[in-house]
Amino acid sequence: MRVDLAASYGEERLPRYTSYPTAPHFSAAIGAKTYAGWLAQLPAGASASLYLHVPFCREMCWYCGCHTQIVRRDELIAAYQRTLRSEIALVADTIGRRIKVEHIHFGGGTPTIMAPEAFAELVAEMRRAFFVLPSAEIAVEIDPRTLTADMVEALRLSGVNRASLGVQSFDPVVQRAINRVQSFEQTASVVEMLRRAGINGINFDLIYGLPHQTVASCLDTVRRSLLLAPDRFSVFGYAHVPEFKKHQRMINEGVLPDGLARHDQACAIANALKEAGYVQIGLDHFARPDDSMAVAFKDRTLRRNFQGYTTDQGEVLLGFGASAIGHLPQGYVQNEVQIGAYAEGITAGCLATAKGYGLTDDDRLRADIIERIMCEFGADLGDICARHGAEPEAMLRSASRLKPLISDGVVRLDGDRLAVAKDSRFLVRSVAAAFDAHLDPGKQLHSRAV
């Protein structure tokens, strides 16, 4: 990886492209009535994935960029679970039939903050409202510091088969600086409990670019993580946006690594995981060679959605809970972010849609190009444009940001085929951004490119 390119492009703020257009472009012009119409128009043979957002934690991690809040009273969590169940029933009624479901993902916050019986009831409600296929992947994000044996049993009985554990860093200095003290022993104990329960799909989330973090501490975290042999790793760069996430002001900016240091940390983690036998998947995921995600990457069927890289091939993602985002053939929808406003709408028998985006033909074309670049480090513009009735020459002319990337050797263009150079793949977001017609470089809404 080239340090000169990291210096040239690394400080730019760019989307992670888990959607296109990205969430800042959603507007209140798309509301509950529009969403209801889109749901009713879903094709008869459509299948869906479900995302459930649980916006509660016991304490705030200062690096967090999620929509979550600290809660001490379990009554608030129980009330929220009841609202989720009502929303599930409302969406299913609006669709008008029991649609097939192939993937379910619980995100947060901390989804396992719910009481075990409440979690089981929520999954049972989904099974009543939708036809959850026996082969469905049911994944849950977990904070190892708070997971109990009773919750592990509830996960097992509910059919959960994948767990994503937040690790971030095992360095105690870094942990104290981000208000997340989590020992290796805690994490190892949770992995053992999950595997004993038959939940064998284990993901670890790591972060680089945290306060006081160094290449050495990143490599030590990787070394310890490898002892627990997870199937997948997600490795994200910390996005410091204290203007949007006020709790990030608790982090001392003076001890944050600069762009080049972040680049070195990302490279070190990637190289260590690849040396351990993991396959690098796109920008920030790593998986064992026999893992379904590695297979999808090899077969060029990898996709990207709001959870990052995925094997999910569906075109319908139904989002439940405060701030949850859904994706339908017609466009995107997002629920009310504030829990009170979300619950008020659902309790009144209305969908909680606060904003969204209706896709144009040009959006769909660019979304396909961006997704292929993010998933495959390249795109056959001729093939993609042909499927959308467009001309690749016109698309290339509109991508003015591509010219310096070609000049710097980041991108190779062979006719209509675009490829990101192997030593420049860490800049794949910069390449994808060249096809983003909505990008406003003046707005600091996203994380740094490196």
CATH number of the structural domain spanning residue 404: 1.10.10.920
Are 205 and 275 contained in the same domain? yes
Q: pLDDT-based confidence at 67, cuts 50/70/90?
A: confident
Are 36 and 82 contained in the same domain? yes
Total domains in the chain come to 2
In the numeric block, which tokens belong to residue 199? 């939940």
- Which pLDDT belongs to residue 4? 74
CATH number of the structural domain spanning residue 262: 3.80.30.20
Please identify, among 274, 305, 325, the residue that sits at the C-terminal boundary of a domain: 325
The DSSP H or E segment spanning 215 is: helix 215-227
**Is 80 exceeded by the pLDDT of residue 446?**
no
Tell me: the pLDDT tens digits for 26-52? 999 999 999 999 999 999 889 999 999
**Is 60 exceeded by the pLDDT of residue 438?**
yes
Is the Cβ–Cβ distance between 222 and 275 less than 8 Å? no
Peptide bond into 24 cis (omega under 30): no
**Is 60 exceeded by the pLDDT of residue 449?**
no
Tell me: the pLDDT tens digits for 340-355? 999 999 999 999 999 9
Q: Which domain holds residue 404?
A: 1-22+360-450
Are 270 and 383 contained in the same domain? no
Comparison of pLDDT for 158 and 44, the residue scoring more: 158
Residue 336 lies in a domain: no
- For residues 203-211, average pLDDT: 97
Strand 47-54 to 100-108 pairing? parallel
Residue 186 lies in a domain: yes
Residue 351 lies in a domain: no
Tell me: the pLDDT tens digits for 241-275? 898 899 999 999 999 999 889 989 999 999 999 99
Query: 414-431: b or e for each residue (b if 16 or more CB lie within 10 Å)?
Result: eebebbbbeebbbbbbbb
Are 290 and 382 contained in the same domain? no
- For residues 274-299, average pLDDT: 95
Cβ neighbours of 234 (radius 10 Å):
21
- For residues 201-212, average pLDDT: 97
Are 156 and 258 contained in the same domain? yes
Could you give the angle at the alpha carbon of 330 between the alpha carbons of 327 and 331, nearest 5°? 45
Please identify, among 300, 325, 350, the residue that sits at the C-terminal boundary of a domain: 325
Say whether 73 sits in a helix, a strand or coil. coil
Are 137 and 148 contained in the same domain? yes
Mean pLDDT, the chain, whole residue set: 94
- Which pLDDT belongs to residue 440? 79
Q: pLDDT-based confidence at 445, cuts 50/70/90?
A: low
**Is 70 exceeded by the pLDDT of residue 299?**
yes
- For residues 59-87, average pLDDT: 94
**Is 60 exceeded by the pLDDT of residue 19?**
yes
The DSSP H or E segment spanning 206 is: strand 201-208
Residue 353 lies in a domain: no
Are 196 and 304 contained in the same domain? yes
Are 306 and 378 contained in the same domain? no
Are 171 and 261 contained in the same domain? yes
**Is 70 exceeded by the pLDDT of residue 182?**
yes
Are 315 and 421 contained in the same domain? no
Residue 346 lies in a domain: no
- For residues 312-339, average pLDDT: 96
Residue 330 lies in a domain: no
Which residue do the tokens 């150079």 mark?
A: 421
Comparison of pLDDT for 420 and 306, the residue scoring more: 420
Which of 194, 192, 191, 293 lies closest to 234, judged by CA?
Answer: 293
Are 116 and 264 contained in the same domain? yes
Its pTM stands at 0.93
The DSSP H or E segment spanning 50 is: strand 47-54
Residue 338 lies in a domain: no
**Is 70 exceeded by the pLDDT of residue 450?**
no
Residue 30 lies in a domain: yes
- Which pLDDT belongs to residue 12? 80
Is the Cβ–Cβ distance between 191 and 202 less than 8 Å? yes
Are 310 and 217 contained in the same domain? yes
